[in-house]
């Protein structure tokens, strides 16, 4: 099975790294941030990278890249910009997915891990969801639960969450692509 995806990043790219290591065929990586460390991961793996600081231009170029590389799914992996309604509506509903570090609908938006710790919830987790016009409001595809420990700091909890993300995101992407191709 040939899994063709495009990935949008803004930062470290640990999820991108896991996706590549899990054998998913990443055709292109786009970042809004020219200093995103994830771009180095892509380059090391001979994946074409593109950087566009301006969101409108980024969206126009991503639309072209999707056609050019014939990708089946656009994967947001730590992409910190909010895609425009026009861009989202220009693609079929099930073609953009995101990973979020909480059990949605709890703690949408930025700083979800700190928000969960501050609130004092006993469990948090990871959500994979389709991207719609809202912020972290699209249909939930899969979730994993994680207990919060007494001694969790934002950093410790983030590390534990990311271990789950790295596994769950790749499994979900493969599952979705198999469904699309069948």
Q: Which residues are catalytic?
A: 100
Contact 105, 149 (CB under 8 A): no
Question: Could you tell me the smallest distance in angstroms from the CB atom of residue 66 to ligand GRF?
Answer: 21
For the chain, the DSSP string reads ---EEEEEESS--HHHHHHHHTT-EEEEEEES-TT-THHHHHHHTT--EEE-SSHHHHHHHHHHHHHHHT-SEEEESS--SPPPHHHHHTS-GGGEEEEESS-TTSS-STTHHHHHHHHT-SEEEEEEEE--SSSS-SPEEEEEEEEPPTT--HHHHHHHHHHHHHHHHHHHHHHHHHHHH-
Question: Could you tell me the smallest distance in angstroms from the CB atom of residue 67 to ligand GRF?
Answer: 26
Question: Could you tell me the smallest distance in angstroms from the CB atom of residue 119 to ligand GRF?
Answer: 18
Nearer to ligand GRF, 9 or 74 (CB): 9
Q: β-strand 73-76 against 140-147: which pairing, if any?
A: unpaired
Nearer to ligand GRF, 27 or 129 (CB): 129
Give the binding site for ligand GRF (CB under 6 A): 9, 11-15, 38, 77-78, 99-101, 162, 165
Nearer to ligand GRF, 66 or 161 (CB): 161
Nearer to ligand GRF, 67 or 81 (CB): 81
Question: Could you tell me the smallest distance in angstroms from the CB atom of residue 23 to ligand GRF?
Answer: 17
């Amino acid at each position: 099975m040939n899994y063709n995806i495009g990935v949008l990043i803004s930062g470290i790219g640990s999820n991108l790294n896991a996706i590549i290591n899990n054998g998913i065929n990443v055709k292109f990586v786009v970042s809004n941030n020219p200093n995103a460390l994830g771009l180095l991961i892509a380059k090391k793996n001979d994946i074409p990278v593109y950087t566009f600081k301006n969101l409108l231009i980024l969206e126009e170029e991503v639309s072209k890249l999707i056609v050019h590389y014939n990708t089946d799914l656009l994967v947001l992996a730590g992409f910190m910009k909010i895609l425009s309604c026009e861009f989202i509506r220009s693609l079929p509903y099930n073609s953009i997915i995101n990973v979020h570090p909480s059990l949605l609908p709890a703690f949408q938006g930025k700083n979800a891990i700190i928000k969960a710790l501050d609130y004092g919830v006993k469990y948090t987790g990871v959500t994979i969801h389709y991207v719609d016009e809202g912020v972290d409001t699209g249909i939930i595809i899969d979730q994993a639960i994680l207990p919060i420990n007494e001694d969790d700091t934002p950093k410790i909890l983030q590390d534990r969450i990311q271990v789950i993300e790295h596994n769950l995101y790749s499994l979900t992407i493969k599952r979705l692509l198999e469904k699309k191709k069948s």
